[in-house]
Amino acid sequence: MAQTLKGADVVIIGLGAAGGIACLPLAEAGLEVVGLEAGTWLTRRDFAPDEIRNNVRDWPQAVQKANHEVPTHRANASAPTTRAASHPMMNGVGGTTLHYWAQSWRLNPWDFKVVSETTRRYGRARIPAESTVEDWPFGYEELEPYYDKVEWETGVSGKAGNLKGELDLRGNVFEGPRQREYPMPPLRGTGFTDLMAAAARGLGWRPFPGPAQINSRTFQDRSPCMYHGYCNRGGCHVDAKNGTNVTTIPRAQKTGRFRVVTRAHVTTIDVDARGRVSGVRYVTDGQEFVQPARVVLLGAYVYENVRLLLLSKSKAFPDGLSNNHGQVGRHYLSHATGASVTALFPFDLNTWYGLPAQGVAVDDWADDNFDHAGLDFIGGGNLWIYSDRRPIQAANMNTFGRAPGWGAQWKAFIRQSADRANTAYLQKTTLPYEANYLDLDPEVRDPLGFPVLRITADYRDNERRIAAFIQDKMEAWYRAAGAIDIVRGPLGTMGPNTHAYGGTRMGDNPETNVVDRWGFSHEVPNLGILGGSVMGTSGAHNPTLTLQALAWRTADHLVRSWKSIAE
List of residues contacting other proteins (CB under 8 A): 44-53, 56-57, 60, 188, 190-192, 195, 226-230, 237, 347-350, 352-354, 387, 391-392, 394-396, 405-408, 410-412, 414-415, 418-419
**DSSP letter assigned to residue 7:** P
From the CB of 342, what's the least distance to other proteins, in Å? 17
Nearer to other proteins, 52 or 468 (CB): 52
SS3 call for 173: coil
From the CB of 226, what's the least distance to other proteins, in Å? 4
From the CB of 62, what's the least distance to other proteins, in Å? 11
Nearer to other proteins, 98 or 524 (CB): 98
Nearer to other proteins, 127 or 414 (CB): 414
**DSSP letter assigned to residue 177:** P
Task: Report how far residue 268's alpha carbon sits from residue 283's, in angstroms, rounded to the nearest whole number.
Answer: 10
Helices (H) and strands (E) in the chain, counts: 12, 23
From the CB of 496, what's the least distance to other proteins, in Å? 20
From the CB of 408, what's the least distance to other proteins, in Å? 5
Q: Which of 139, 137, 147 has its CA nearest to residue 178?
A: 147
Nearer to other proteins, 241 or 541 (CB): 241
Nearer to other proteins, 114 or 195 (CB): 195
From the CB of 195, what's the least distance to other proteins, in Å? 7
Task: Report how far residue 257's alpha carbon sits from residue 8's, in angstroms, rounded to the nearest whole number.
Answer: 10
Residue 439, beta-bridge partner list: 454
Task: Report how far residue 97's alpha carbon sits from residue 99's, in angstroms, rounded to the nearest whole number.
Answer: 6
Nearer to other proteins, 173 or 414 (CB): 414
Task: Report how far residue 294's alpha carbon sits from residue 10's, in angstroms, rounded to the nearest whole number.
Answer: 6
Handedness of CA 453, 500, 473, 383 (dihedral sign): negative
Nearer to other proteins, 442 or 490 (CB): 490
DSSP string of 191-260, one letter each residue: HHHHHHHHHHHHTT---EEPPBSB-SS-BTTBPPP--BS--TT---TTS-B--TTTTHHHHHHHTT-EEE
From the CB of 237, what's the least distance to other proteins, in Å? 6
Task: Report how far residue 191's alpha carbon sits from residue 461's, in angstroms, rounded to the nearest whole number.
Answer: 38
Nearer to other proteins, 227 or 518 (CB): 227
C-beta of residue 488 within 8 angstroms of C-beta of residue 514: no
From the CB of 233, what's the least distance to other proteins, in Å? 14
C-beta of residue 118 within 8 angstroms of C-beta of residue 127: yes
